[in-house]
């Protein structure tokens, strides 16, 4: 039997054929390759599963009737073999070849439970602006509860997940609950804009409303000590782009994002730093 990989990447899908190939190609191009890919599919009717099979992913099928975001991830993580567990949406595309290496680098710190980044639209990227590495702890998380672990693209330590799994009853924000659980116990979360993904929801206004309502209902379902003030902008900044970079961290982009007109958007071509700036986790 082959040795267990250091990292397991679990991708949750439902009819994701439009972007899944881009996601898997981006993973193939990562500088870090000690990982397995598990796809948890909840009843796709399109070519999602066939695409994943072409890339050699392990296919796990979840009954659509039992789906919650937390249950889908727990189902995949139960079958994962890695020391590090990465969650990735089926339409969240890693933006550069050093994305996974950097995301995991934060987990080497013993007091860090998880690392994550944000999402950006096609036509933008972390290479186009000054970016931050932020350490989020219990003291400042209450002021920004939605600025926490993001299961669209995040990494956690498997040993901590085994002690506290994602809450399967929540309609959303299972990632925020998990992060809050560990921050109350003295751990920190690292939010790094360089760990962001190309992530876009093509939703109607009613769909946006339902998603927002679901997420806030999940946030409100935490225990009584939950953070409930969703404002952004707090956290301790622990890293910046290198001096002399003009405020723009170097980045080598794996693929060209497509603009709203379908055209390719050019990106800078340089190498992503292998190491984080001094003082980061």
Closest CA to 139 of 186, 70, 93: 186
Q: Where are the domains of the chain?
A: 7-239
Q: How far is CA 232 from the centre of its chain?
A: 18
Closest CA to 12 of 44, 34, 35, 47: 44
In tens, the pLDDT along 183-205 reads: 999 999 999 988 989 877 665 66
In tens, the pLDDT along 170-188 reads: 877 899 889 989 999 999 9
Pairing of the two strands 58-61 and 35-41: parallel
- 18-27, 212-221, 251-260: which is most confident: 18-27
pTM, 2 dp? 0.77
Strand partners, 11: 39, 88
In tens, the pLDDT along 145-162 reads: 456 788 999 999 999 999
Half-sphere exposure of 67 (CA within 13 A, CB side): 15
The domain over range 7-239 is classified in CATH as 3.90.550.10: yes
Structure tokens belonging to residue 255: 């693929």
For 34-66, letters b (16+ CB in 10 Å) and e give: ebbbbbbbbebeebbbebbeeeebbebebeeee
CA-to-CA dists, residue 254 to 90, 95, 116, 152, angstroms: 17, 6, 19, 19
How many residues does this entry show for the chain?
281
């Amino acid at each position: 039997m082959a040795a267990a990989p250091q990292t397991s990447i679990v991708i949750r899908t439902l009819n994701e054929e439009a972007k899944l190939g881009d996601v898997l190609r981006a993973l193939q191009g990562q500088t870090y390759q000690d990982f397995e890919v598990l796809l948890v599919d909840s009843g796709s009717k399109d070519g999602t599963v066939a695409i994943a099979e072409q890339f050699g992913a392990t296919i796990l099928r979840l009954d659509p009737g039992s789906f919650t975001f937390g249950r889908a991830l727990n189902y995949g993580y139960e079958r994962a073999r890695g020391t590090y567990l990465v969650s990735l949406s089926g339409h969240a595309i890693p933006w550069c070849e050093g994305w996974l290496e950097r995301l995991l680098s934060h987990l080497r710190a013993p007091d860090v439970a998880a690392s994550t980044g944000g999402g950006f639209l096609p036509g933008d990227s972390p290479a186009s602006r000054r970016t931050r590495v932020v350490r989020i702890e219990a003291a400042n998380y209450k002021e920004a509860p939605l600025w926490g672990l993001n299961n669209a693209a995040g990494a956690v330590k498997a040993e901590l997940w085994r002690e506290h799994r994602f809450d399967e009853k929540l309609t959303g924000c299972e990632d925020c609950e998990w992060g809050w659980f560990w921050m109350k116990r003295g751990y920190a979360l690292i939010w790094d804009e360089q760990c962001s993904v190309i992530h876009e929801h093509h939703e109607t206004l009613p769909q946006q409303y339902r998603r927002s309502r679901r997420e806030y209902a999940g946030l409100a379902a935490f225990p009584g000590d939950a953070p409930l003030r969703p404002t952004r902008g707090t956290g301790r900044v622990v890293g910046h782009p290198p001096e002399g970079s003009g405020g723009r961290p170097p980045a080598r982009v794996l693929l060209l994002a497509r603009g709203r007109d379908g055209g390719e958007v050019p990106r800078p071509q340089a190498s992503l730093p292998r190491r984080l700036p001094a003082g980061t986790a």
